[in-house]
Amino acid sequence: MNKSVEVVEILHLDDFTASEIAASWYDEEEMKEITQGCFKVLQRMEYGGTKKGKKYCTRGLEGHTTLGSISKKETRTASFVAVLDEQEKQWNENKDFDFQAISDAYRKVSSSSQLWAQVIGNRDHQAIEAYLYQDEEEDEEVQATTTAVSIKSAKSVFKSPVSQTKPLNMEGAAGVVVHQAVARAA
């Protein structure tokens, strides 16, 4: 359901002005606010509370819950041990290192993490699909009404959150940024 794709050429970091560089990075205060907001959402997640019936987006925070942190740590430890055990086995057998066997040992332990990441990715995909479908219904409702509000001003409500966010760090790479518009902009 790819409604629109926008391609935007970007400058190389060397071609940015000092103010453009500063605007491209979160400063310490912004990072502090983001972190504090995430901690508040995590606390509400952990203790099942909401604030005045508000819904909070927990996307990407699952691994920072108590259970998520424990699971992540256990998987990392088991992966580390599996790789070291395979290396030790090969060392004791006086073999040349079999990198594929080391990779297989790691993959065997970490495959559940990959599966879980795919589940979360599919869930995010479904959420975006639902969001896009909801916007289409709202657009149709706006067009069907006979109010004095113009379609253009009504659609401005549906501006993409992508266009309202601060650019992320791009590590100075020159090239092209491609992103799918989440919602149609007016």
What's the pLDDT at 91?
A: 94
d(CA 35, CA 105): 35
Asked whether residue 40 is domain-assigned, the answer is: no
Per the structure, the count of domains in the chain is: 1
5 forms bridges with which residues in the sheet?
A: 180
Asked whether residue 102 is domain-assigned, the answer is: yes
Does 5 have pLDDT greater than 50? Answer: yes
Asked whether residue 39 is domain-assigned, the answer is: no
Residue range 89-142, pLDDT digits in tens: 999 998 788 999 999 999 999 999 999 999 999 999 998 899 888 866 665 655
Asked whether residue 121 is domain-assigned, the answer is: yes
- Alpha carbon 117 to its chain's center: 11
Residue range 24-51, pLDDT digits in tens: 899 999 999 999 999 989 988 888 766 6
Q: Which domain holds residue 170?
A: 5-26+59-180
Asked whether residue 11 is domain-assigned, the answer is: yes
Class of residue 56 by CB neighbours under 10 A (exposed 0-12, middle 13-18, buried 19+): middle
What's the pLDDT at 165?
A: 34
Asked whether residue 142 is domain-assigned, the answer is: yes
Asked whether residue 43 is domain-assigned, the answer is: no
Global confidence as pTM? 0.52
